[in-house]
Amino acid sequence: MKTLPVRFRTLAVFSLLPLAAACGRDGTGPVTLTPEQVSGDYRICSLAFSPEGSAPPAVDIHAALETDASRLEILQNRQFGFVYKQPTLPTRTVTGSYITGTTDMRLDLPATQEARALLLPSRIFLDFNAQTRHLTVSQAQGVYTVRKADYEALTGRSEPNITDDIRGRLTGQLIPRDGTCG
């Protein structure tokens, strides 16, 4: 068997070093957040839907909820429950699954009436701060559409001069339940 000269072997090894440095613990890719790191009970500090343009006005979803009874529960089995209570309705839960990235996570929500009633998209992208354990709706969260009827039901006001579909963005911050919103 013929072997490569030493200089070619050295060049080959050094050319692979950047790839090895970019790999995770098991050498297969970047280190991703684990369910153990992100799991927990999170308080909703802010959550809002902001339509594109100047009309209709933004909706403070957080203000429409009873804050003591509303939370995001992230489980270690890659499932979550968005538990919420509106003043005159019983407590409800939207459940789904999540995946983690290196510093972020994505919640995949089912297309249920409960999720639509809160003007939530089918996917929520959250940035995770490992030091504070805060979750922030990511800037990568794209524009999505909500139904006018759901918007009007949550806000309690009629918007006669807007289309049946309203395009906008979600913003928000969540912190560990034992923390205080600032």
Per-residue pLDDT at 146: 95
Question: What would the DSSP string read from start to end of 29-41?
Answer: SSPPPPHHHH-EE
pLDDT value for 28: 63
**pLDDT for the residue numbered 2:** 55
Nearest to 167 by CA among 121, 109, 112: 121
Domain spans of the chain, in order of start: 24-176
Q: How much is the pLDDT for 103?
A: 94
Q: Which of 3.40.605.10, 3.90.650.10, 2.40.128.280, 1.10.260.40 is the CATH number of 24-176?
A: 2.40.128.280
pLDDT in tens, the chain (182 residues): 555 555 544 444 444 434 443 444 455 667 899 999 999 999 999 999 999 987 799 999 999 998 888 999 999 999 999 999 888 888 999 999 999 999 999 999 998 888 998 999 999 999 999 999 999 999 888 899 999 999 999 998 898 888 899 999 999 999 999 999 87
The pLDDT score that the predictor gives to residue 4 is: 54
Burial of 152 (0-12, 13-18, 19+ CB in 10 A): middle
| Residue 61, pLDDT score | 93
Verify cis geometry, omega within 30 degrees of 0, for the bond prior to 56.
Answer: yes
pLDDT at residue 102, as a whole number? 94
